[in-house]
Amino acid sequence: MHDLIPFIPGNVSHVLESIPFFLPEIYLTVLFVLVLVTDLLFGRTSEKLCRIVACAGILLVIPRDFQQIKLLFESGQVNGRFLFNEMLLLNRVAINFKFIIDALAFILLLYFEWDNRLKAHRKGLSDLYTIVIGSVLGLHLMTMAVNLLSIYLAVEMVSIASYLMVAYRTENAFSNEAGLKYVLFGAAASAIMLYGISLLYGFTGSLGLFSGNLLPGLMQANPVAVSLALGLVLIGIGFKLSFVPVHFWVPDVYEGASTPITAWLSTLPKIAAFALLINFLRPFVYFVKWTAFDFKLVLSVIGIITMIAGNFAAVLQRNVKRMLAYSSIGHTGFALMAIVTYNTSGISALTFYLAVYALANIGALALATYFANVLEADDMKSYKGLGLKYPAASICFVIVLISLTGLPVTAGFTGKVLVFSAVYGVYQHDHNIWMLLLMITGALTTVVSLFYYIKIPLNLFLKRTEIVKNTLNKSQNIVVFGIIISVLVVLLGIWPDTLFKIF
């Protein structure tokens, strides 16, 4: 104990110096407490107030994200700054991902109340808003974590919030089943990841990715054992990314959860997990002597299999949410193409692609909510003949699906072009066969995706039904929401520099 006393002043000083670079997370912590206290003080009548506080708080956090760029420049650490004794790394990539997460979180906070089935929850949505803010804080930490301990804590923080969100609609048996499956699979993935972390620590006596003896120590250990440990950690990260072979939970959980929760799970945790994967890979990629585990080969194989499995499985689906679940798996595989390049253009392409994918995916699920609200339509056959009766929602649905497919002139097309360009640039440089296979698979699965995305417009506009149910709810908020997202998707496809320059 006495041996540690001389180090205390230096550690305290480093913590205090880190606080100005940690303001968005401090704001989120205060916001979490505010929403929680608001719920406790006002009880069942607090739902709208909690929603207002949560949305206003997120809007205050977003400027703090951009302020961090200025702080990095002023401190002369443009390439990044370690925080809290190298537990976190704040750099431009992390800031970009945090901005996307916060912007999408604000959009989703607006969307939650518009789902009739979720809104009908007997306890209201006040608790849900508290959970969401706690999850956003965990997502921020995931984007910056560069210590094996901080990585595990951040992932667990997001996981616990996700478990609660999936099982929030407890009166539904299928939701209960989905929540239980998610908890069991998530606990198994966390245990596997923690075992991998313990092996890495056992080999090296270090937890820091950029400090200590981690990489030199791993170079001295048995390559097979090191590969096993790194593979176990990748499984934990892959559970959040939902790539093959840790994707099996996705269809049931996405279908069983409330649609806004599905929109959350399919976008924000996935975006943060990609940021975490970038941080995890960085020391191994730039350590020239590293030969024990070929991340490029492993992630290329996973990306190819994930694209094939996700897209071909989606073709067989009839339920809209289940189809979009398998679609999200396919998009994960495509995004891994950009990760494998691991250069500036690849990371920028990945950031843009994830942002526009998330926007379009939220739009698609919001419009699925619209048809569930007005006609209780959950599968594609239920959409027959609705295109002319609900033209605004149907046209918006088609636009966001075009973007998810990656067709001109939408943002999805631009995102895929940027990813292909980054991969092709690497292929031109080293003629790696895996880069070529990734591009071929990406192109073929993009064509396959057209076969399942087109089923919705086909049923909306080209098929007829004699039985038309009475409208249960007009849900005009979702129509306006869908129109705004559709316009953004088209505008970002025509003028991608508006968003791409930010990244």
Rounded CA-CA distance 20/219 in Å is 36
Please give the pLDDT value at position 208.
86
- Closest Cα to residue 88, out of 133, 154, 166, 181? 154
Mean per-residue pLDDT over the chain, rounded = 87
Please give the pLDDT value at position 502.
64
Other beta carbons within 10 angstroms of residue 439's beta carbon come to 16
Place of tokens 């269809």: 251
406 has pLDDT over 70: yes
- Residue pair 24/68 in contact (Cβ under 8 Å)? The answer is yes
4 has pLDDT over 60: no
- Residue pair 404/360 in contact (Cβ under 8 Å)? The answer is yes
Max CA pair span of the chain = 83
Three-state DSSP state, 208: strand
Q: How confident is the model at residue 353 (pLDDT cuts 50, 70, 90)?
A: very high
- Residue pair 461/367 in contact (Cβ under 8 Å)? The answer is no
pTM score, two decimals? 0.94
As a whole number, mean pLDDT of residues 121-146 equals 90
Three-state DSSP state, 82: strand
Q: How confident is the model at residue 387 (pLDDT cuts 50, 70, 90)?
A: confident
Query: What does the block give as tokens for 371?
Result: 């048809």
Q: How many CA within 13 A on the CB side of residue 376?
A: 5
18 has pLDDT over 70: yes
Element (H, E) at 83: strand 81-83
Place of tokens 């990945």: 350
The DSSP secondary structure of 86-151, one letter per residue, reads TTEEE-HHHHHHHHHHHHHHHHHHHHHTT-HHHHT-TT-SHHHHHHHHHHHHHHHHHHHB-BHHHH
Please give the pLDDT value at position 6.
59
**Domain coordinates in residue numbering, the chain:** 1-174+246-277, 294-503
Name, of 205-209, 393-397, 427-431, 465-469, the range with top average pLDDT.
Answer: 393-397
Please give the pLDDT value at position 439.
94
Sequence-separated (6 or more) residues with CB below 8 Å from residue 7: none
As a whole number, mean pLDDT of residues 107-133 equals 86
270 has pLDDT over 60: yes
Please give the pLDDT value at position 2.
55
User: What is the DSSP pairing of strand 81-83 with strand 88-90?
Assistant: antiparallel
As a whole number, mean pLDDT of residues 229-250 equals 90
